[in-house]
Structure 1
Amino acid sequence: MSVSVTEAAMRRNEEGNYVGRTVFTLEGHAARYEITFFSKKGKEWDYSLSFAGEPGSEEQFLELDAMLEEDDELFDRLLDAALDAEDSVDTKE
């Protein structure tokens, strides 16, 4: 299943925690999704999935949420997009 990342960002907040997001589309799904990430140390990640913009099919949303739980490669690809965005900001300063 093809994933297309349209936006990504990652930063560290005042406490040094990682806070990031990736907006993406998934092949066969009409809606865009946003996954937000949080980690205290950058090792174990909590996430929240939502629609980016207009809501879409609840069935497809639940299917994607289950995929994120099972498919480490998909989760890592979305997380890496956010982490790469942080790296690109750091190199410009």
Structure 2
Amino acid sequence: MEFQIIKADMKQDEDKHYLGHVTFTLEGHKSQYEITLFSKRGKEWDYSLNFAGESGVEEEFLKADEQLEEDDDLFDALVDAALDSMES
């Protein structure tokens, strides 16, 4: 699935835990999404998906969440974008 990253950021807190955000769009979806990423060590990631800005179509949101669960390349690209923002 085609996607476009709009913005990404990642920080480490005082305990060296990673916390990041990526705003992105998915092909064919009307809304932008924001994924919040969290990891204690930068290896295994928890995430939360939300609409970026205004709420959109719930069916599209559920498809986006399903896509994140099933498409490792998409998920890894979002994580990489957030991690790359730390190096800037």
Establish whether TM, by shorter chain, passes 0.5. yes
Inter-partner Cα distance in structure 2 for 1:32 and 1:64: 10
Inter-partner Cα distance in structure 2 for 1:36 and 1:61: 15
Structure 2 equivalent of residue 61 of structure 1: 61
Superposed, 1:1-16 pairs within 5 Å as 1-16=1-16
Q: 1:3 corresponds to which letter in structure 2?
A: F
Structure 2 equivalent of residue 91 of structure 1: none
Question: Over the residues paired in the alignment, what is the CA RMSD in angstroms?
Answer: 0.6
Structure 2 equivalent of residue 37 of structure 1: 37
Q: 1:65 corresponds to which letter in structure 2?
A: D
Structure 2 equivalent of residue 87 of structure 1: 87
Q: Which runs of 5+ in 1 are unaligned?
A: 89-93
Q: 1:37 corresponds to which letter in structure 2?
A: L
TM-score, reference length from structure 1: 0.92
Q: Which runs of 5+ in 2 are unaligned?
A: none
Q: Percent identity?
A: 59
- Bigger fraction of residues in helix: 1
* Alpha-carbon distance, 1:14 to partner: 1.2
* Alpha-carbon distance, 1:2 to partner: 1.4
* Alpha-carbon distance, 1:55 to partner: 0.7
TM-score, reference length from structure 2: 0.97
Aligned positions, number: 88
